[in-house]
A = this chain, B = another copy of it.
Amino acid sequence: MDETPIRQRDAVRTRAELLDVATEVFADSGYSGARIDEIARRTRTTKRMIYYYFGGKEQLYLAVLEKAYRGIREKEQTLQVQDLDPAESLRRLAELTYDHHLENTEFIRLVAIENIHRGRFIRQIDSLRDLGKPALGLLEEVLVRGREDGTFRADVDAVDVHLLISSYCVFQVANRYTFGHLFDLDLDAAENRDRLRRVIGDVVVAWLTAAARTAE
């Protein structure tokens, strides 16, 4: 099946390895803090190859960023909540998002790094523009079902719900160190996770159902 010549297959593998290691290093140290030398050292190749395959530090970072975003969106596509009632679907969606974020700390860190740089790099990756929107589709679907059966208030946008859920879940990962230090609470500890996951479910359901009930 795979008729790619050995040399080329190696090239592909080398490229992939560089990308993986670079992802780790950038996520770990930030863009300025990451060292080309360290990336190379953690690889079976030399740093010369980074220039050969990617052209430079910035292009390598761009490749890391694009791959990370694509990977995360692909995983999101697999969420399944259709067979539940609207409120339960919403709660489920929030809690799956919560788990999803805790499992992808590397990605969340890359996003934080990118924001430190005011989105200077992501703005260069056109293919990522509006990449988020499809992710709203599933949420929108749930909201429509909830509005139709009168469970959910009608004045809340899918993007606002997404913003709320994302904020909460991203914060757990992105701000875990300062929050932990100041409030003496380990957001990453297993014993807190169930409660923290339930909170975001409770919150979104309460929010979406609140006004609806009020309107009764």
* B109 & A112 in contact (Cβ 8 Å cutoff): no
**Chain copies in the assembly?**
4
Q: Is A132 an interface residue (CB 8 A)?
A: yes
Q: Is A210 an interface residue (CB 8 A)?
A: yes
* A171 & B163 in contact (Cβ 8 Å cutoff): yes
* B177 & A174 in contact (Cβ 8 Å cutoff): no
Q: Is A209 an interface residue (CB 8 A)?
A: yes
CB-defined contacts of A181 to chain B, threshold 8 Å? 119, 122-123, 128-129
Q: Is A70 an interface residue (CB 8 A)?
A: no
* B122 & A178 in contact (Cβ 8 Å cutoff): yes
Q: Is A111 an interface residue (CB 8 A)?
A: yes
3 interchain residue pairs of minimum CB distance: A119-B177, A132-B182, A206-B210
Chain A residues with CB under 8 Å of chain B are 29-33, 109, 111-119, 122-123, 128-133, 136, 156, 159-160, 162-164, 166-168, 170-172, 174-185, 187, 195-196, 199-200, 202-203, 205-207, 209-211, 213
